[in-house]
Amino acid sequence: MILPVHLIRIGKFAFVDAGIESVAFPSTLTSIDMRAFAQNKIREVVLPDSVTTLGAAAFGSNDTLEKVVISRE
């Protein structure tokens, strides 16, 4: 899944149980609310440096999740 380039926030429960296997976040994203991507099939999450808020269980119940990258240079 590729999200819109100017996206700033992803709301609560936005993509719960949507069958998502991968997601690319734009560099404009600042907030991912609680359980936004819960219960999917995501394997890896790479958050851009712009993300300053990550809600509770934003990626909860992704049993296939192997890697999360939170980078601050």
pLDDT digits (tens, 9 = 90+) for 12-47: 999 999 999 999 999 999 999 999 999 999 999 999
pTM of the model: 0.93
Report the distance separating Cα 72 and Cα 35, nearest Å. 23
Q: One-letter amino acid identity for 35? A: R
Q: What's the CATH architecture for 1-73?
A: Alpha-Beta Horseshoe (3.80)
What residues pair up with 37 in beta bridges, in sequence order?
A: none
Share of the chain above pLDDT 90, in %: 95
Q: What are phi and psi of 53, to 5 degrees?
A: -130, 125
What the block records as the tokens of 58 is 């934003």
Classified as helix, coil or strand, 36 is coil
Say if CB 17 and CB 31 are below 8 A apart. Answer: no
